[in-house]
């Protein structure tokens, strides 16, 4: 039976770097709450009619970012949703504003080594990680650029390096419900 939603926000948005578990944890969280799960990458792929690597290849990152913003704006108008975003969602202030006005924003983190190990499994699905640069150096550099943006956007921070997705989903529900500060 879904848990009580009386003290919950309208939506919960998960932000964070690639490989921090936004989609997996988001699905569990939505199940626990009896809410809809929406992944903005999936929305972009549906609208574009192709997968994200193909979209990057055909039209470039700028076109992807514009579609991503449209997806975030659209989804943010909904209610009782767990919204998993792409790792670069925080790059545009209008995305952050939309997610923050839609509900509570949770930043999922993981140690850089954990991110490298997780993302190497499906590296082809993440065009921004395909490069000649050393994977750990690249992740560290991107985390350095993006860290302050995630930080500024977040109401809560949850480290996903060690614990299982189900446990983390429960932890997020608890944090969001109690409104405990980060
Ligand atoms: C991106 C992360 C990806 C996807 C796109 C760009 C990024 O999503 O949106 O490849 O800029 O970090 P995940 O974080 O779900 O892998």
Q: What is the pLDDT of residues 82-131, one digit of tens each?
A: 999 999 999 999 999 999 999 999 999 999 999 999 999 887 888 898 88
pLDDT at 182 (0 to 100): 58
Place of tokens 């009580």: 4
pLDDT at 94 (0 to 100): 98
Q: Is 114 left (phi over 0), alpha (psi -120 to 50) or beta?
A: alpha
Report how far ligand 1's centroid is from the alpha carbon of 170 (Å). 24
Distance CA 63, CA 147 (A): 23
pLDDT at 3 (0 to 100): 52
Residue 2 has pLDDT above 70, yes or no: no
Stated pTM of the model: 0.95
pLDDT at 122 (0 to 100): 80
Q: How many CA atoms lie within 13 A of 132 on its CB side?
A: 0
Angle, CA of 13, 84 and 1, to the nearest 5°: 80
Q: Establish whether residue 52 lines the binding site of ligand 1, counting it when its CB lies within 6 angstroms of any ligand atom.
A: yes
Q: Establish whether residue 87 lines the binding site of ligand 1, counting it when its CB lies within 6 angstroms of any ligand atom.
A: yes
Report how far ligand 1's centroid is from the alpha carbon of 86 (Å). 4
Q: Average pLDDT of the chain?
A: 94
Nearest residue by C-alpha to atom 11 in ligand 1: 88
The answer to whether 136 and 116 have CB atoms below 8 angstroms apart is: yes
Nearest residue by C-alpha to atom 10 in ligand 1: 126
Angle between helices 93-102 and 135-153 (to 10 degrees): 50
Distance CA 88, CA 68 (A): 9
- In percent, the amount of the chain with pLDDT more than 70 equals 95
Q: Establish whether residue 88 lines the binding site of ligand 1, counting it when its CB lies within 6 angstroms of any ligand atom.
A: yes
What average pLDDT does this structure show over 147-151? 98
Residue 179 has pLDDT above 80, yes or no: no
163: enclosing H helix or E strand: none
Nearest residue by C-alpha to atom 9 in ligand 1: 86
pLDDT digits (tens, 9 = 90+) for 156-172: 999 999 999 999 999 99
pLDDT digits (tens, 9 = 90+) for 60-79: 999 999 999 999 999 999 99
pLDDT digits (tens, 9 = 90+) for 123-132: 788 889 888 8
Distance CA 46, CA 56 (A): 14
Tokens representing residue 74 in the block: 């659209």
């Amino acid at each position: 039976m879904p848990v009580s939603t009386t003290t919950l926000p309208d939506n919960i948005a998960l932000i964070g770097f690639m490989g921090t578990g936004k989609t997996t944890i988001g699905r569990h969280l939505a199940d626990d709450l009896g809410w809809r799960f929406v992944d903005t990458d999936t929305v972009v792929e549906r609208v574009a009619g192709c997968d994200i690597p193909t979209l990057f290849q055909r039209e470039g990152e700028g076109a992807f970012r514009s579609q991503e913003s449209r997806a975030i704006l659209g989804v943010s108008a909904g209610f009782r949703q767990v919204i998993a975003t792409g790792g670069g969602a925080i790059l545009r202030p209008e995305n952050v504003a939309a997610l923050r006005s839609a509900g509570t924003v949770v930043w999922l983190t993981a140690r850089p080594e954990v991110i490298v190990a997780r993302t190497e499994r499906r590296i082809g699905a993440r065009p921004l990680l395909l490069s000649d640069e050393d994977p750990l150096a690249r992740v560290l550099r991107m985390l350095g650029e993006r860290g302050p943006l995630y930080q500024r956007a977040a109401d809560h921070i949850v480290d996903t390096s060690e614990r299982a997705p189900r446990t983390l989903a429960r932890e997020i529900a608890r944090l969001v419900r109690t409104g405990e500060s980060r």
